[in-house]
Structure 1
């Protein structure tokens, strides 16, 4: 029975080990972000899983805005795509692209793209910039976050990670886990996910074992 239990739990342990390894390399936890909206389409769609890293992690150190010279290409566009958490306590973490950095007191609309603005500085609550930070936007949105009222000027300390690559559709599992945690709590969700991983591993082991025995019988 101990051997069977170990075999059933092995897949769950392997998944955890891989997650810990990716987190160690990326320098961020969790090392994956599930996309819940279409604001970064078409490159990143709802249900995708985005691998993220710490903002200072080599060789992707620092933060670069879309408008800066020689900005890197990230997720289908230029400039870093970051995960930031507005301080209002109600908005979930946002995955959007950095447009440019601003300084406290700056009328940043002077160097913004007019197509992404709704009015001049006097009409935008986040202008002039109340502190140093970043102007951001979603690739599929028609305005800067700060013009549309989605987020204030993003302080650097609000940014928890930046994106490296998106994997289509793998984020649906994470979205489901988050929904389960919100509904029934962390511990019951963890027990359920571990049980599902163990069951899947057990079924896989049985299928592989039967296939192996079938091949041996055929050779005999």
Structure 2
């Protein structure tokens, strides 16, 4: 019974170990985020799992906007893609691209792309900039977050991680977990998904074991 229990729990433990190792390398926890909107399409689609790192983690340290010289290319365009969490009630973290930094009191529309603006500094709530921060946008949105009212100017301390690459469709698992936690709570979700992972791993181990056993018997007969 102890051996069977260990075999069932091994896959879940392996998944947790991989997550811990990735987090240690990335310097962020959790080391991935699930994408729930299409605002960064086509490079990042709904249901993708995005691997992230700490913003100061070598060799990906620092934050570089799309308009800055020598900006790195990430997800098909220039500039870092970051996860930021505005302190607004009920708003989820946002995965968008940095356009450029701004300083307190600046009329940042002078440096903005007119195609991504809806109005001028007199009509945009975050202009002049009330504090130092960043202008951001979703690649598929066609307008700065601060112009569209999606988010205020993003303070640096709101930015929790920098995106490195995306794994297509793998994020649906994370979305499902988050939905289950919101519905039934953390503990029942952990027990349920842990049991499912263990059972799936146990069934897989059993099937592979039977295949290996049959192959051994067949080899013995052939000898």
TM value normalised by structure 1: 0.99
Aligned residue number for residue 209 of structure 2: 209
Quote the Cα distance in structure 2 between the aligned partners of 1:124 and 1:22.
Answer: 40
Deviation, 1:213, is: 1.3
Deviation, 1:75, is: 1.2
Quote the Cα distance in structure 2 between the aligned partners of 1:112 and 1:90.
Answer: 29
When the two chains are superposed, the root-mean-square deviation of aligned CA atoms in Å is: 0.5
Secondary structure class of the residue paired with 2:96 = strand
Matches within 5 A, 1:121-136: 121-136=121-136
Quote the Cα distance in structure 1 between the aligned partners of 2:89 and 2:29.
Answer: 19
Matches within 5 A, 1:17-166: 17-166=17-166
Secondary structure class of the residue paired with 2:98 = strand
Secondary structure class of the residue paired with 1:129 = coil
Deviation, 1:214, is: 1.5
Secondary structure class of the residue paired with 1:18 = helix
Aligned residue number for residue 192 of structure 2: 192
Quote the Cα distance in structure 2 between the aligned partners of 1:44 and 1:76.
Answer: 10
Aligned residue number for residue 180 of structure 2: 180
Aligned residue number for residue 171 of structure 2: 171
Secondary structure class of the residue paired with 1:41 = coil
Quote the Cα distance in structure 2 between the aligned partners of 1:29 and 1:82.
Answer: 14
Deviation, 1:77, is: 1.0
Q: How many corresponding residue pairs?
A: 220
Quote the Cα distance in structure 1 between the aligned partners of 2:78 and 2:198.
Answer: 42
Deviations 1:63-97 (A, max 9, x none): 00000000001111110000000111221000000
Could you tell me which runs of 5 or more consecutive residues in structure 1 were left unpaired when the two chains were aligned: none
Quote the Cα distance in structure 2 between the aligned partners of 1:149 and 1:191.
Answer: 39
Secondary structure class of the residue paired with 1:122 = coil
